[in-house]
Structures are given as C-alpha cells and as structure tokens.
Chains A and B, each alone.
Chain A
Amino acid sequence: MLSLRDVHASYGPVLALRGVSIEVPAKGIVAVLGANGAGKTSTLRAVSGLLRLSHGSIEVDGRRIDRMAPEKIVQLGVSQVPEGRQIFSEMTVLENLQLGAFTRRDGNSVRDDVERVFGYFPVLGERRRQQAGLLSGGEQQMLSIGRALMARPRLLLLDEPSLGLAPLLVREIFEIVKAINAAEGLTILLVEQDAKAALGIAQRGYVLETGRVVLEDSAARLTENEAVRRSYLGY
C-alpha cells in the first residue's frame, strides 16, 4: 500500500535519508527500528510531505505523493502521530479530536468517531472538556493517536509512541494499536526505538542506520537476529 523507493532527502546540507526503500502491505504493521539520528523521523516526515525528497519516490496505492502538500496527503488517508505527541495543549481534548477530523466534511459521523475514539481510550472520554496540556504523558499519547484516527486514515504513521512512557503504559498503548489494526484493517507504519515492543506487534521490520536501510526481515526473524538483539533488544 505504501512504498518508498530509494528515498533521499536532506535538511539543508545535512543528509537525512540516503536511499530508503520500504514496502508496507495493506492492513499490515511494519516497524522501522534504529538509533537516534538514523533517519526514522525523517522517513515519516517525508511520507507526510513535511520533508521534500531530493531523489526517489513515495507512493500510496500506486499514486505518487512525494510532491503533494501535507494537507493533500492527509486527505488521501495518511495520518501521522508525530514524535513528542504535538497535541494542541491549549485546547480541550474534544477540540483536539475535532481538529483531527479537519479534512472531513461529514459532521454527524465525526461525532460518532469521537465516541469510537473514546471507546478505544475511555480515559479521554472522561476528560473530554479538559485542557489537553493538563493530561499525563500517556493520555497525551492516546490523544495524539485518537486525533490521527479522527481523519479516518487508511495508513497510520506512528513516530516513537513509547517515548517517555512507563513500560506498562507502552504495552497498553501497543495493544490498543494492534487492536485497531485488527478491527479496522488499518495499515500501520511504526517507527520505534523500543524494538521489543515494536517487533511484538509488527509482521515485518526494517533497521535504519545513518539514513540507509541496513536490514529488512520478518519481525520474528529480526527478533532472533544477533545484531538486532545486541543493538536494539539488549540481550
């Protein structure tokens, strides 16, 4: 469904991506692993149209998106949960979710979808009128995911959802992500430093190093892989 082919991109003179090729099959969960600065966030920024490519292409269902404006890419059904959550902290939980549905015109089903998000994350429902900046880190992560779901995406990009969260909470959020994938057939591209959590729900994984894909395999085989174990799983 999503394919990146030989993607190159840079921030000014700094090369961020130096030939990244990734395939995400429809309804699948694909994990991208790597250390800080390996190009994980840049990869997602490129897909969302926030980082322009200098070479290569990105396609969604065979349609090139790498020259589209970010809002057009959202309209095509690609939503991102960015690193560090990036919620609208001065607005209420409900307003954050309404903004997630900005590209949609169907007011009534937006209301249904707000309830659907509250179904996945009941704590958000209890706090719907609260200022989002006052939520805990885990709740903010849930809100960020909920906001992305409000666009009714076909492809969800998740950038380090585990960042700064307690292990138990990380597991809970990953379980919910997996449940959403299973229930709605939502395709997921997940970028993570927490390789164990990510490979636990993904079918395939890619390992990035300094802007290049250095390893690609099924999640099961990556978990067994000696180098991955030493570098990312820590045993």
Chain B
Amino acid sequence: MQEFAQQTLSGIASGSLFAILALAIVLIYRSTSVLNFAQGEMAMFTTFIAWSLMTRMDFWLAFALAILVSAAIGAALERLVLRPVENAPVLNSVIVTLGLFTIFNGLALWIWGAQPKGFGPFSVFKGDPICSADVCIGRLNVGILVVSFIVMTLLYILFQRTRLGLAMRATAENRLASQLVGIPIGNMLTLGWALSAGVGAVAGVLVAQSVSLTTSSLFSILLYAFAAAVLGGLNSPPGAIVGGIIIGVAKNWAATYVPSAVGNVDLTLAFAMIVIVLMIRPTGLFGRPPARRV
C-alpha cells in the first residue's frame, strides 16, 4: 500500500511534466492545426540556454529569462517559418516542424557539445524528501507539482478570464469570424507560438533537474507528451493535463508491478492505453470533433 501511494505520487509529478509539454503541443495545435514535432527539441534547446544562464546568475532569474527567450524564439518561428506554409497542405507544416526538430538538435550539439550538462550545482530542489506517514515525496517532485500548478493556473486565467485569452480562443475556433470582429489574428497566432514555446521551456528546465541534459534528453518526454495530448484530445488543454497525469501514473505502476523481464513496459503500456482510448473515443478523452457549420 505504501509503495502504491509512493509510486502514484511520483507518477503524478512526472505526469505533470508530460502534461506541461502536452499543453504546449495542444496550444499550437488547436489554434493553427499544426502538430509541432519540434516542441521537445525547442524545449531542449532553451533548457541549454537556461543552463548557460545559470552558470552566471540565480536559478529563478535564469529560469524566467530562459522562458522569455524561448517565447521569443517561438514567436519568430511562427512569423518567419510557419506563416509561409500556413495555407499549404498539412503535410508541409509536418515537414517543416520535423525540419525544425533536426535543426534545433544539430544547433544544440554544435553550440553546447555532446558532453552532458548537469543542473546539480544550481538546483534549488536539494534536501531531504518530505514525508508524511510512510509516504515520501522528493523536493524536486514538490517543485515540479508547484510549478506545474502555477503554469496551469496562469494559462487558465489567461484563457478564461482575459480579453486577450478570449480573442486567442476565438482565433482558434473561427478565423473568419475573428477577423470580422476586428481581432488581428496574425498576432494571436504569433502569441500562441510564443506562449507554447515558453510553456515548453518550463517543462525542459524541470526535466533537466533529474537527468543530465543532453541533446536527446527530451525525446522520450516528447513521446509521452504527444501520447498525453492525443489521449486527452488534441484540442483540449484540460485534456492535455489529465492525459499527462494518467500516463505518468500508469507508467510508474507498470514499471513497479510488471516484472522487469519485460523490457520498456512503461512506454509500451502508455501507447497501448492510447490505442484503446482512441478506438473508443477517436477525439480523445476531452477532445471535441471539429465544429459543424449550421
């Protein structure tokens, strides 16, 4: 029982990381119908930037700066790279984001080299685990949970409580109508990419706290994040969060209770779940089918 609670709790923490990256994917997908395969590599790239900054300044300041830099990169990508293929067939944007994937990977390798970068010296999540009864939670996991909660709350406030968020949702839902009520939709799309890249950077920096940062650090996380986004419904931000947590928990359970002779069981199980959910609900748990025109 104690182990079960333990595994569930840390599953929720790692699931939050999938959830944040899945949110980044969903934010772009639902406003532009682009699946950004480069999401993980963009996050990895800005995590390297965060690492470089942390050698010079305080953790939180470097974290915040890295998010801003990431957002700026996201905005620039939308303007310069994605906009020209905006009205082209979907396959074009797929190829473009796959291209960005390899570009960011190569660029990071070129700038920072193949030597793994540890965040250990800068980590603010050091110290003994926090325990209650027999169940303990590491400080990093507490940090991940708190930061994830803050990110999600801020996004919720933005989309549900502000004029700007309303306009971004409108742009995602109906571009023609948005133009006709006077929303500058180009700016909204740019902002969507900036926001998504910023959110992705949060995931990257948090992931790198427990693993050494290399150019491939975020690849498996990206797979889980995509799985989470599809599971929750690619156009539903709450779905991304729920999907991420389900996958995080299921992954931990599988790793704990399935005999280790079965290799990579956690990844297999995560994707088996997705296949089953999509067979029953093709739009994911929370996704809506595309709106019908009346």
What residues make up the interface of A, taking CB atoms closer than 8 Å to B?
A: 48, 50, 69-71, 74-75, 79-80, 82, 84-91, 95, 98-100, 102-103, 133, 137, 140, 147-148, 150-151
Q: For residue B291, which residues in chain A have a CB less than 8 angstroms away from its CB?
A: 89-90, 133
Whether A88 pairs with B179 at a CB distance below 8 angstroms is: no
Q: Which residues of B in the span 160-175 have a Cβ within 8 Å of any Cβ on A?
A: 163, 166-167, 169-170, 173-174
Answer yes or no: B182 CB below 8 A from chain A CBs. yes
Whether A71 pairs with B184 at a CB distance below 8 angstroms is: yes
Answer yes or no: B183 CB below 8 A from chain A CBs. yes
The DSSP consensus for interface residues of chain B is: helix
Give the docked Cα–Cα distance between A146 and B133 (Å): 59
Q: For residue A84, which residues in chain B have a CB less than 8 angstroms away from its CB?
A: 293-294
Q: A133-B291, A140-B294 are in contact. Are A86 and B180 (CB under 8 A)?
A: yes
Chain B interface residue count: which class? 20 to 34
Q: A85-B294, A90-B288, A140-B294 are in contact. Are A151 and B173 (CB under 8 A)?
A: no
Answer yes or no: B176 CB below 8 A from chain A CBs. yes
What residues make up the interface of B, taking CB atoms closer than 8 Å to A?
A: 163, 166-167, 169-170, 173-174, 176-184, 288, 291, 293-294
Q: A89-B291, A90-B288, A133-B294 are in contact. Are A70 and B180 (CB under 8 A)?
A: yes
Q: A95-B166, A99-B166 are in contact. Are A90 and B173 (CB under 8 A)?
A: yes
Q: A99-B170, A133-B291 are in contact. Are A88 and B177 (CB under 8 A)?
A: yes
Q: For residue B176, which residues in chain A have a CB less than 8 angstroms away from its CB?
A: 50, 82, 86
Give the docked Cα–Cα distance between A82 and B163 (Å): 23
How far in angstroms is the closest Cβ of chain A from B21?
A: 25
How far in angstroms is the closest Cβ of chain A from B156?
A: 16
Q: Could you list 6 A-B pairs, sorted by A, with CB under 8 Å?
A: A74-B181, A87-B177, A89-B294, A99-B167, A102-B167, A137-B294
How far in angstroms is the closest Cβ of chain A from B283?
A: 13
Give the docked Cα–Cα distance between A150 and B183 (Å): 14
Give the docked Cα–Cα distance between A133 and B181 (Å): 18
Whether B288 pairs with A71 at a CB distance below 8 angstroms is: no
13 more A-B residue pairs beyond the given contacts A71-B179, A151-B181, with a C-beta to C-beta distance below 8 A: A48-B179, A50-B180, A69-B184, A70-B179, A71-B184, A79-B180, A79-B181, A82-B180, A88-B174, A89-B294, A90-B173, A95-B166, A103-B182
Q: For residue B184, which residues in chain A have a CB less than 8 angstroms away from its CB?
A: 69, 71
